[in-house]
Structure 1
Amino acid sequence: MSLGRYDYDRRYRRRFWARFGKFAMFAVVLLGVGLFAYQMGIEQLKGRDVTLREENAALSRQKAELELLASQMQHAARTAEAKAAELEARLQREVPTGDLARLAGLIGERLKGGMDANRLAFVITQAQPVRNCQQPENKRFALATPLLKTGNRAVTFGNNTVTVSGEGQSARNPQGAQESWFDPAQPVTIKVTSIGGKQTVATGVLPLHHAVVVDNAEYRFTFTAGARSFVEVTADRCPFP
């Protein structure tokens, strides 16, 4: 009986340890699988972390580039706005409006119609505000030249208060020889002499404009080329001041 009991206990222990061994082996395998899976998960997480870091760095670079581009575009927009404002101000300054635009249109029409620009400028300069002036006097005199210095070479205005005379350069004929009359295309010298001997001079190519004040009166002269040898003089006499 004791031998049978012994065999039974031994077989029981063997079965126990066999089961325990299988369980331990299963646990070891399961633990190995778990560790392997854990390690794989760690590696995947590390790889994903690296990928995310790279993507984040790329996004940061793109953000910096976009911010730089936005700053450049804002600067360009501000520059464009400043230029537009400058052009608008320049347009307002240079493009005539109102009465000035109307006058500019009239001048343009006259120039297109063939009117000489110098003649038109002369007419405009003669337009003056309404003043209490006497009726203009129109006279003419022969302009002295190197070949023609004798004779009546002056005219007077204001009851001989002001004397006007002058001299010019001799014209030349087709052969180049000097003539006695002056050349209206060359500068002339006009002398305005008032009582007491005070003299003022206007020099240049006709037409010329000149003004003097004598005895509380302002004489405003316009000198233009007339018939051969002659200078036409228009004198306005107005109170001064």
Structure 2
Amino acid sequence: MTLGRYDYERRYRRRVRAGLIKFVLLTALVLGVGLFAYQMGIEQLKGRDVTLREEIATLSRQKAELELLASQMQHAARTAEARVGELEGRLQREVPTGDLAKLSQLVSDRLKGGLDANRLAFVISQAQTPRNCQPADTKRFTLTTPLLKGGARGVAFGNGTITVTGEGQSSHDSQGNAESWYDPGQPVTIKITGIGGKSTSVTGVLPLHQSLVVDNSEYRFTIAAAQRSFVEVTADRCAYP
């Protein structure tokens, strides 16, 4: 009876130990699987976090690039608007309209027709609204040259209140020798002197135009080449202003 009880108790303890070992192994397995799953979850979260950070960095760069592009486009738009405004203003200033356009076309047609530009400019400069003027007075005199300096050379207008004098370059003969009279193809200098010392001068190739105001009168002079050695001076006298 004692031996039977001993065998029974020993088998019981073995079953208990085996059950305990199984429980421990099962618990270890469960813990291992849980730990592995937890570690995998951590790694996945880390990987996802890295991916999200990279996506955020990429989106941030794209946002900065788009903002820079938008700023550049706005600047380009403002520059284009300013340029358009400048061109519109220039167009309004430089392209004639109305009466000015008609006159511009008329001048262009006359120039294409062969009319001398200087002549046309003179005609336009002489055009003016009606004024209180006296009949034109025309006189002539000989120009002073390097070989023709002696004597008083000039003409007077306005009862002697204005004197017109001038000088030019000597003409040359076919052998190149200097002559006494002036060369109308070279620039001349015309000096207009009013009473009291008020004066003005003009230099250039004839014909020339100049004006001078003395007291309450404006004298407008046209100086043109005449017969050899002479220039012809036409003076218009009008009330001023």
Which TM class, normalised by the smaller chain length?
0.7 to 0.9
Matched letter for residue 199 of structure 2? T
Matches of 2:3 and 2:138, distance apart in 1: 171
Q: Which runs of 5+ in 1 are unaligned?
A: none
Q: How does 1:37-76 map to 2 (within 5 A)?
A: 37-76=37-76
Matches of 2:67 and 2:215, distance apart in 1: 78
1:139, 1:155 within 8 Å by CA — same for their partners in 2? yes
Q: How does 1:118-133 map to 2 (within 5 A)?
A: 118-133=118-133
Q: Which runs of 5+ in 2 are unaligned?
A: none
Q: How does 1:101-116 map to 2 (within 5 A)?
A: 101-116=101-116
Match of 1:202 in 2: 201
Match of 2:117 in 1: 117
Matches of 2:11 and 2:202, distance apart in 1: 149
Could you give the per-residue CA deviations for residues 16-62 of structure 1, whole angstroms, max 9, x where no partner exists?
A: 55445434433322221122111111111111111211222222223
Q: Structure 1 210/3 Cα, relative in aligned 2: closer, same or farther at 3 Å?
A: same
How far does residue 15 in structure 1 lie from its aligned partner after superposition? 4.5
SS of corresponding position for 1:56: helix
Matches of 1:191 and 1:4, distance apart in 2: 162
- TM-score normalized by structure 2? 0.77
Aligned residues: 240
Q: Structure 1 4/210 Cα, relative in aligned 2: closer, same or farther at 3 Å?
A: same
Matches of 2:224 and 2:114, distance apart in 1: 20
Could you give the per-residue CA deviations for residues 40-98 of structure 1, whole angstroms, max 9, x where no partner exists?
A: 11111111111211222222223223323332332333333333333333333333333
Match of 1:86 in 2: 86
Identical counterparts, % of pairs: 70
How far does residue 232 in structure 1 lie from its aligned partner after superposition? 2.5
Moved more, 199-208 or 178-187: 199-208
Residue 171 (structure 2) pairs with residue 171 (structure 1): yes
Q: Structure 1 161/45 Cα, relative in aligned 2: closer, same or farther at 3 Å?
A: closer
SS of corresponding position for 1:186: coil
How far does residue 184 in structure 1 lie from its aligned partner after superposition? 1.6
Matched letter for residue 203 of structure 1? V
